Structure 1
């Protein structure tokens, strides 16, 4: 018999410790409700369930996104309800004025007053309707492919040259003075920016209406430069927001003699920048912008910038789709090499698009007609390193890859860059970043000008007759837009239902891995609790065994 080491007691103690650990784990699971509280409980199960949790979170957030999308669509569609009502009232007035019993100077004049008031309200609704600060009906979300819509491409720009405008301006009293009621298109590093001078206050306008050819006041020149810089940069902010671009700010400084201004963009690189005024885009463009006389042209002030691609041009070889109002046209590029330039890419695209549009017109029977698409989609590579598409057809255009291809994606004009089709708002309606989990919502400009009724008049019988058809066409346009918004809303409702089911099923799967079965765990707890008590009793018995040695002393 040994008393230095009580092996039976040691064994009972070890078993007691194991049973206590088991009871502790049972209590942890029962109190938390989780089968897996730490990686040690089930490492593989933990990894799987955490991925499921991330997916569930994404699905739930996507539901909220879709619900927000419905709210946005309802806001736009609700505003158009009133536009419809006003257009119907305008039809009534036009038809009424078409009747020969009314006097132009009295009766029709009063009818025209109401027409004018209704047009003003339609324009106010178009300009003011917004959701979370995002304007919905002013054309900002137009998917029709407005001029200068930008897509992104992997490119970078170098070799800039400064644009310096010398003091050749004229006084505001001259015929060539600045017209603050008109907008100017300024080319900032190749991107078109529309500057609205009418936003300036009376004092600010006065500051700019100086005779810069004789100005010798450095303070005035400095203040004018600061005002120009602020106004142009505000226009750049708007352009970036509306088109999803990243045009750099400009800086404006007065020249040494205070009789002119130097305008430089932020994309100077090792050189300077390219600034110009697009006077061909709008006949009404001020040709004396910022006090510069008409004779000053873009070519005097700018130098062509060169583009250095950071993509492999050969990856742009292949076929992809060009979409016209959803109809697919095949576009193929095939002769690009690893030494091809940005210009080569543009030329290749332009040739392929022209060929596709020619075939499109032939199939539609629109060749040579005003509805022909040929020549109405042009491609350029702007100085920001982005492909730029100009669409003057009035139809929606877009691009997408064919199954298995990535040409459009490489060029930055696929679903990831839907803004190239003229704008729109992309909703994230899934738990991943794939294209199919994104929905583009576009709403056309609902102003009277876009609807074609800005110039209608019922002040005469002939004008009223002509107005009827224009107003009915506007009603059809608004109806079409409301129908599109309604279809989007219905789709989003189905999306929410689908996401809800997916989230429910994924939660159930995650629960089976992560959650504890309370009944089963209670059985284990009961068993282990009894074993703890039993091992405690056996430890007490084992501690009594050495007492038997005392019997040998008798």
Structure 2
């Protein structure tokens, strides 16, 4: 700037500004050199400080964890040392027992041996009762909270165990039927359990919550129809018709917690299916002598792509309706029955060919009915066995006396004959049977679709129902007459007419593949402790071991009185050695694990410390260069500031 001015000394002002900047840099360098840190405040490196403090938390936690693990190693070493002394005691006891077993000794000699055994037994128990680490007893502990020793799979949801309940369908209540695949169970730890679903009237419904306390009081059962307080009048009555069903949860209440049940139950689906009941009558022969047949045909809730065809049943369905409604048709489309039909008793007892017939089912196609089992029922009419029932079903028998017999025959003539008068048949006098008063033979058929079909929810299935043919047995019947009745009912000329009875129903089902399984902890009476082995909450090493004393080892009552007791004591001590060996091996494994853990913690801590040092610590050589530079600039700035102040002295010459 030209001219002489005295109000502003810009040269001095610029010199002062540069001096202040240099002085600030020099001060910070001096601070870093004196503290050893290049980050002394958040302003020095805001992001670096946050990262550094996070690392320091981990580093200091790991340093303490290393000490914790060393304490844990010391703990198991104390335990191992005590067990080592126990081993020596057991070795001496075994040595004495072997000596006492020898018949060269008298009972008096054995009494001297027994005195030593009793003395060292007391020391063994004292070791278990008093051995401690940092005032914590190792074995003499009251186990208040048993520790987890494993997990079991528990079935936490099961609906009636496939015990179907039928609900009749009428025109006036059809709209309230539940739509398949819409039943959803929901649960939470606070409110309990409820169920929601959609009906064919398009409405969505929901039950009340039932509390966990109430569930426990009811043995973990939940009847839906009893928890519909949101509804009234006709709606409530119609819903009750369909919802009189019980959800059964696992009763493993000692192991499954509420959280386990919540996990298992949430979004679990219950299933419903639809059926029609068909009367099954014989068209040929005309005289059936009281023989009857009945069938339950399951019309499963199918996807809407399954359209009606002709033959035995027809169906009504809309493109958006997953329920295909069965309606009555006339006529018969059954083929004749094929299968065994011999009238010779000896041949019949060897005949294992099943009875088979086929029919068509619209929307599904061919269905095969195949005999699957034979069931025999009879009462014992003797006064001493009044009202006692015998039952035989394919592979088991029950009654007042359990019979240990496994049948090898199924739904065939051999099964019929064995059920009646086999070597262990229920009618033989040796097995308390009587002359089959009011008895019946039932031959059971399984109805299976020849090809699988899709039901609601796109699940694939082939089972479509069952049929039973009932043959009465009287007191005058013999093996031959019963065989004749079976052949009369089931022979190649017999045709069975399945006619729709006019009543349909839906039923509940809980397929096994939809059951909810939950893993629940299994607790044991063991001693547990936690070694905090890292800087995070879940970084720990659990130590679980058995509570030991002379009683657990089996030596508390060990005493030597004669050769026999000495020999028995040898076997007892063998078991004690096994227990102590297992515990010493366990403690050794824990020590090895903790030694690896402390080395790993040390490795993590050192390398994290190195990274944190890069952020936080001062590079002394580099910072000394900065300090020297700013020191020279500071001195230079002081000199320039003095000269700038001197430049205004020229004004005085103008005033002279």
TM-score in terms of structure 2 length: 0.45
For residue 550 of structure 1, report the CA deviation from its aligned partner: 3.4
For residue 89 of structure 1, report the CA deviation from its aligned partner: 0.8
Of 96, 107, 114, 2:109 maps to: 107
Contact 1:84 1:475 in 2 (8 A): yes
Contact 2:76 2:591 in 1 (8 A): yes
Contact 1:123 1:446 in 2 (8 A): no
1:30, 1:545 → 2: CA distance?
A: 38
1:27, 1:527 → 2: CA distance?
A: 12
Deviates more, 1:484-493 or 1:9-18: 9-18
Please list the CA deviations of residues 264-319 of structure 1 after superposition, one character each: whole Å capped at 9, or x if unmatched: xxxxxxxxxxxxxxxxxxxxxxxxxxxxxxxxxxxxxxxxxxxxxxxxxxxxxxxx
1:387, 1:506 → 2: CA distance?
A: 41
Give the direction of change, closer, same or farther, for the CA distance of 1:121–1:523 in structure 2 (3 Å limit). same
- Give the unaligned 5+ runs of structure 2: 158-184, 188-192, 194-208, 222-250, 267-517
Q: Does 1:427 align with 2:531?
A: yes
2:210 is matched with which residue?
A: 339
Contact 1:457 1:463 in 2 (8 A): yes
**What SS does structure 1 have at the residue aligned with 2:559?**
coil
Matches within 5 A, 1:91-490: 91-104=94-107, 106-138=108-140, 140=141, 242-244=143-145, 329-334=152-157, 337=193, 339-342=210-213, 344=215, 379-380=253-254, 422-434=526-538, 437-490=539-592
For residue 345 of structure 1, report the CA deviation from its aligned partner: 6.4
Q: Does 1:28 align with 2:31?
A: yes
**What SS does structure 2 have at the residue aligned with 1:442?**
strand
For residue 380 of structure 1, report the CA deviation from its aligned partner: 4.0
1:43 is matched with which residue?
A: 46
1:547 is matched with which residue?
A: 649
Structure of higher RCO (CA pairs closer than 8 Å, 6+ residues apart):
1
Give the direction of change, closer, same or farther, for the CA distance of 1:456–1:348 in structure 2 (3 Å limit). same
**What SS does structure 1 have at the residue aligned with 2:601?**
helix
1:163 is matched with which residue?
A: none
For residue 10 of structure 1, report the CA deviation from its aligned partner: 0.8
2:5, 2:654 → 1: CA distance?
A: 13
Of 78, 89, 113, 2:81 maps to: 78
Please list the CA deviations of residues 299-341 of structure 1 after superposition, one character each: whole Å capped at 9, or x if unmatched: xxxxxxxxxxxxxxxxxxxxxxx976x5x54335347515341
Give the direction of change, closer, same or farther, for the CA distance of 1:474–1:70 in structure 2 (3 Å limit). same
Please list the CA deviations of residues 499-552 of structure 1 after superposition, one character each: whole Å capped at 9, or x if unmatched: 001110111111000001111111111111111111111111111221222344
2:217, 2:64 → 1: CA distance?
A: 40
Q: Does 1:492 align with 2:594?
A: yes
**What SS does structure 1 have at the residue aligned with 2:555?**
coil
Please list the CA deviations of residues 157-183 of structure 1 after superposition, one character each: whole Å capped at 9, or x if unmatched: xxxxxxxxxxxxxxxxxxxxxxxxxxx
2:18, 2:31 → 1: CA distance?
A: 20
Give the direction of change, closer, same or farther, for the CA distance of 1:421–1:21 in structure 2 (3 Å limit). farther
User: Which protein is bigger by CA-based radius of gyration?
Assistant: 2
Contact 1:95 1:465 in 2 (8 A): yes
**What SS does structure 2 have at the residue aligned with 1:458?**
coil
1:512, 1:345 → 2: CA distance?
A: 60
- Give the unaligned 5+ runs of structure 1: 141-238, 246-321, 351-376, 389-398, 406-410
1:74, 1:85 → 2: CA distance?
A: 16
**What SS does structure 2 have at the residue aligned with 1:488?**
helix
Paired residues in the alignment total 321
1:292 is matched with which residue?
A: none
**What SS does structure 1 have at the residue aligned with 2:545?**
coil
Contact 1:453 1:470 in 2 (8 A): yes
For residue 421 of structure 1, report the CA deviation from its aligned partner: 6.0
Please list the CA deviations of residues 178-204 of structure 1 after superposition, one character each: whole Å capped at 9, or x if unmatched: xxxxxxxxxxxxxxxxxxxxxxxxxxx
2:573, 2:220 → 1: CA distance?
A: 39
For residue 426 of structure 1, report the CA deviation from its aligned partner: 1.0
Please list the CA deviations of residues 48-71 of structure 1 after superposition, one character each: whole Å capped at 9, or x if unmatched: 111111111100000000000011
1:428, 1:20 → 2: CA distance?
A: 50
Give the direction of change, closer, same or farther, for the CA distance of 1:347–1:97 in structure 2 (3 Å limit). farther
For residue 443 of structure 1, report the CA deviation from its aligned partner: 2.7
1:298 is matched with which residue?
A: none
Give the direction of change, closer, same or farther, for the CA distance of 1:348–1:542 in structure 2 (3 Å limit). farther
Please list the CA deviations of residues 22-61 of structure 1 after superposition, one character each: whole Å capped at 9, or x if unmatched: 1111101000000011111111111111111111110000
Give the direction of change, closer, same or farther, for the CA distance of 1:20–1:428 in structure 2 (3 Å limit). same
1:469, 1:506 → 2: CA distance?
A: 56
2:520, 2:72 → 1: CA distance?
A: 24
Give the direction of change, closer, same or farther, for the CA distance of 1:88–1:346 in structure 2 (3 Å limit). farther
Contact 2:154 2:252 in 1 (8 A): no
TM-score in terms of structure 1 length: 0.53
Contact 2:152 2:519 in 1 (8 A): no
Give the direction of change, closer, same or farther, for the CA distance of 1:333–1:132 in structure 2 (3 Å limit). same
For residue 387 of structure 1, report the CA deviation from its aligned partner: 6.5
Give the direction of change, closer, same or farther, for the CA distance of 1:453–1:378 in structure 2 (3 Å limit). farther
1:126, 1:422 → 2: CA distance?
A: 15
Give the direction of change, closer, same or farther, for the CA distance of 1:125–1:39 in structure 2 (3 Å limit). same
Contact 1:137 1:443 in 2 (8 A): no
2:39, 2:219 → 1: CA distance?
A: 59
1:84, 1:346 → 2: CA distance?
A: 51
More strand by share: 2
